[in-house]
Structure 1
């Protein structure tokens, strides 16, 4: 049995054949654990895009369900310290990482290394954790980035928008889409109440088509691509935020409207991840102020980075015009109220 006061080290090491690195394929290792519900993965880039003489190695935190629901730093990982390394024939490079900065905004930290001189030998990547809950040494083979086909996604793609197998028709701003009532009922409180007639708007919103075979719901203010992505989540529990025409904010708004709490939270976290010094004020004044929790998220980001945000053109423009915004005065007073304990010299 290990002494509780003794430092426990865990090393996870993976060998990459030179046939993979020679094609500059990005490599992901299998997932590994340093404790109860604490999972990690290594990501290796044989060539750094900005400097062809370097490679890149990242230590990625795989969030558990508890971590996906918070914007705070993931405290259970903070007690660890990690050293990532790359080695090959007559070659070794390493770098020590802090693990107290991992969060939904920063799931991966890494380092660039000068490439090994002789690329005809296998590359070994690894990480050693100090203060790990598990004493383990693992040697494994990496996997490439070829995605596995999700059987639920495949089934959904086959059934989705098939008029014959669905009984609800949505007339959207820029198209028509079909879905199954039984799935909508189970997955959304909004649709459950709508179809069961427990809302006064049911008769206004819900209609039958001429053949009485489909419910018809008119939604003129939502785009086809956004509504489709919401349905994809209801069918499969999968969501993609990589579609340029369907932003995290659009997903947040539709999830809020249709009372899909988990999707709303995922989108809220993604919005936080996309905040920058230059866009935070616009996000706050254009949309986020309408929802108290999202407004607080963006204001907290601004406060945390206030010295830099206040120097941006966006901040100066919005501050000069805030009184014309329907909630401008309230927003600025909230920002000022949170700045006072920080003793900033600010001027509205």
Structure 2
């Protein structure tokens, strides 16, 4: 996403070019905006009727107001419903503010707070990677794929096997599901989860048939159960509106069910559906879908970059998929009258970030660079987060022993032309494959650690070295401990030594950081031992 994407949003159009170049993360909601700068300062401005700006009140701001509690925390994600708001730091800490009458902020009370407050309890030692919320309950997903829930639970929407509200995070038991959770989503009275097997699970109130059953057959359920009607289909992405769900399959098809009062199911009617139904008439394979708790519209973008909508949009009801002139999913939500909002955070590229590292000793020829992600000539497709990246087996196996074994051996991937990649982000896997064609790494420091781990798994020594250079530029007091932890896991001695040297220079700040507090005891002991050997604690 380029810096120009900010200008799609009216609230950002009056900002100076200098300020826009400094913004790396932003969200917009009901006439207000929050943004994070490359210096890790967080500001809010605009309308604030719902307390969205995290300033401790509901007064609108014409001046950009610093949100002190979030500054310096390396905020990587911002999520919101109508009256509940969350921020996730790079170390996986979660900050919550907003309405809390059901304990939906996870702070251990049922008292509203309009200032970002760190969630502790069972999440204090966890690294959260996703937050999904309604106005009444919240789900979080951790890096080790555990799911925690809190808030209102009248209909069992917390998935805990009972109907008691929870004001502190409680862990769900997904063992019966037989898989690893990769994503979660919230509706008004129910919840969904996507497993790495491609199965979708749902629980809570069967409002408008959202559980995938007739409401005459099932009223509610308080433990996760598989959505019927998706058997044999591998789902790669789930999104929710106010009370309808969309599921994107690995072959680019979209299924919908639930409330349909505005035609948001795209089935040609305004009748609710309790059964996931394939949406016809989209006109091509879908690579991404979007919807939101705040608006009754569904949006999809095809591989040809056609943006398709169905549901209620700008005073018009579309009961079937309709091609638009929009250029992106974000643009659809930016053009909503009065209620314009981001359905996901805007992640901006900065002039000095990402860092480009080039392996000049073996620079790729220009003709090879042109064939990266070329759908016309590719013979293998990688599907990551529901989006496709096109590549060539010959190029991959020539440069990587792991791919050579995979494609020429007896692995199940040997004869498959489409590979689904789990547990890695699209941006990182895109950069990983691009390196095979360009010998260049175009990467933000905060993502370079994931790229380093990917290069480690595929035994790409040169790429590990290039990633390491970027990681070293991105080490901070807050993330030093977590990078040290990962360095041990990957047996990356050079990285471990570099981080330890950094910590020696900032020891007091590092050991008092949230990142250090998240270390398990064995890693913390290893850190203290090596720091002591370096003389960190000598008087």
Structure-1-length-normalised TM-score: 0.44
More helix by share: 1
Of Structure 1 and Structure 2, the greater strand share is in: 2
Higher RCO, 1 or 2 (CA under 8 Å, sep at least 6)?
Answer: 1
Q: State TM-score, norm by structure 2.
A: 0.29
Larger radius of gyration: 1
